[in-house]
Structure 1
């Protein structure tokens, strides 16, 4: 999963690669996690630059983005179709492999961002999981805007403009990320069948 991509994508953390190998993860899942992890990098870099006083756990966001769909290693059908079974399964897989509950939670929270208990880190993982393919979800973005406005004391419309600008910029590269993900098979046997 260290192959080049256009646009260039950050590599997955070594610990995540080890987990994916251990689980026999489908290549497409690893590609998806890498694309979302890269977008999370862009978001946390932007947050650090534009909101240096805002406290959030950058490492948790990056780990959460890199593992949010790891349950699809077990529920492979959810790589190409709908389903939520991977959420709890992912959290259980991570906990069973020694990942702390604080980090394993993202596998379960990335699709339940409307819950009142989710923190800014959870929202950022959810946002990365949407914007990697340029999907804009106004309710999710509004929650992030509200957290930013609360932290800075600035008007929500100012934070909306700033967030909209970075999400638009990240979204511009969605076609490349989608093509990168699609270039990997869902099952290893597909790749072997294509090799002469």
Structure 2
């Protein structure tokens, strides 16, 4: 299917402040799917926030081993199932989660990468990885939403990895998330500038 002008703008517009581009494989998939422009804009925003979180984490908790590329891919594709369940772009629903996983698998992505589409909202279930927690946090804080239970799970993991008091990790994470949340209005405006339908 041909890429719409709105989808191209959602994928390529620099933004203010400038947004990082999605991984090339993700951009190509969104173009192939003729994805809704608002979905592409949303994925860019969450990917950009995940990039900031990964940068911060690398600098502030070097003892924590995590798959940075998996986090970035997960953030860039977490809602890909909304290309199928477009009503969930403007309303509630979770049908996009398993659909996104299946869509990624059908396009040749590994289970390790496809899992984020299904798990980004399931952070309160057991066995969630640090990578999944980071994608979950990015998916909330991009719009200024803070979820204490989710952040607590991440703080616990970071405190153990760093061998640091939990309160110290909490203060550091709270600071970075607060700074990111301050830009929520601009990000929400960027997303709203793109139509739900191509």
Please state which band the TM-score falls in when normalised by the shorter chain.
Answer: over 0.9
Question: TM (normalized to structure 2)?
Answer: 0.94
Aligned residues: 188
Moved over 2 A (4+): none
Shift of 1:131: 0.4
In the alignment, which residue of structure 1 is the partner of 2:63? 53
Instruction: Tell whether 2:49 aligns with 1:39.
Output: yes
Shift of 1:7: 2.0
Structure 2 counterpart of 1:11, from 4, 10, 21: 21
Instruction: Tell whether 2:30 aligns with 1:20.
Output: yes
Find the residue that maps to 2:169 and give its secondary structure: helix
* Aligned counterparts of 1:10 and 1:131: Cα–Cα separation in 2: 17
* Aligned counterparts of 1:67 and 1:114: Cα–Cα separation in 2: 20
Find the residue that maps to 1:154 and give its secondary structure: coil
In the alignment, which residue of structure 2 is the partner of 1:170? 180
* Aligned counterparts of 2:61 and 2:163: Cα–Cα separation in 1: 12
Point out the more displaced range, 16-25 or 129-138: 16-25
Unaligned regions of 5+ residues in structure 2, if any? 1-10
Instruction: Tell whether 2:77 aligns with 1:80.
Output: no
Find the residue that maps to 1:105 and give its secondary structure: helix
Structure 1 counterpart of 2:141, from 131, 141, 151: 131
Q: Does structure 2 retain, via aligned residues, the 8 Å contact 1:7–1:173?
A: no
Q: Does structure 2 retain, via aligned residues, the 8 Å contact 1:133–1:175?
A: yes
* Aligned counterparts of 1:53 and 1:137: Cα–Cα separation in 2: 25
Instruction: Tell whether 2:131 aligns with 1:117.
Output: no
Over the aligned positions, Cα root-mean-square deviation in angstroms equals 0.6
In the alignment, which residue of structure 2 is the partner of 1:104? 114
Q: Does structure 2 retain, via aligned residues, the 8 Å contact 1:75–1:86?
A: yes
Unaligned regions of 5+ residues in structure 1, if any? 189-196
Shift of 1:162: 0.5
